[in-house]
Structures are given as C-alpha cells and as structure tokens.
C-alpha cells in the first residue's frame, strides 16, 4: 500500500492547483488533466464560447 504523502500528483490545467492520485483514476492516471468536474466544465465552456 502507498502512503498518502507518497501518492503521485499533478497540476490542474484550469485552476493550476495540485491534486493527488485517486483510486478511481488508477487505470487512467496518464489521461487525467482536471482536478474536478467543475474544472472540466469550465474547459468545455471555453471551447464552446470560441
């Protein structure tokens, strides 16, 4: 088991805050770009507005 302080982390491309690995992202960690659904929605809105 990995200790919490040793979990991988990334920076959200929208809010630029760090977020850590979660069990539900285990198989898709390389594809995760957003820290939350809220940030993902913001990205979709930006694309639609352009």
The two structure tokens encoding residue 8 = 């991988």
10-32 pLDDT per residue, tens: 999 999 999 999 999 999 999 99
Q: Is residue 2 part of a domain?
A: no
The H-or-E segment that residue 49 falls in is: helix 37-49
Tell me what pLDDT residue 44 has. 64
Q: φ, ψ for residue 17 (rounded to 5)?
A: -100, 150
Q: Name the 3-class secondary structure at 39.
A: helix
Mean pLDDT of the chain: 86
The answer, yes or no, to whether residue 6 has pLDDT greater than 90, is no
Q: Is residue 16 part of a domain?
A: yes
Q: Is residue 40 part of a domain?
A: yes
Task: Print the domain residue range for 45.
Answer: 10-21+30-50
Tell me what pLDDT residue 50 has. 60
Number of domains in the chain: 1
Q: Is residue 49 part of a domain?
A: yes
Tell me what pLDDT residue 2 has. 63
Q: Where are the beta strands (DSSP E) in the chain?
A: 9-11, 18-20
The H-or-E segment that residue 38 falls in is: helix 37-49
């Amino acid at each position: 088991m990995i200790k919490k302080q040793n979990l991988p982390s990334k920076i959200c491309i929208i809010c630029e805050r760090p977020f850590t690995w979660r069990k539900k992202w285990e198989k898709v960690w390389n594809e995760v770009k957003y820290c939350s659904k809220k940030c993902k929605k913001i990205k979709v809105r930006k694309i639609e507005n352009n």
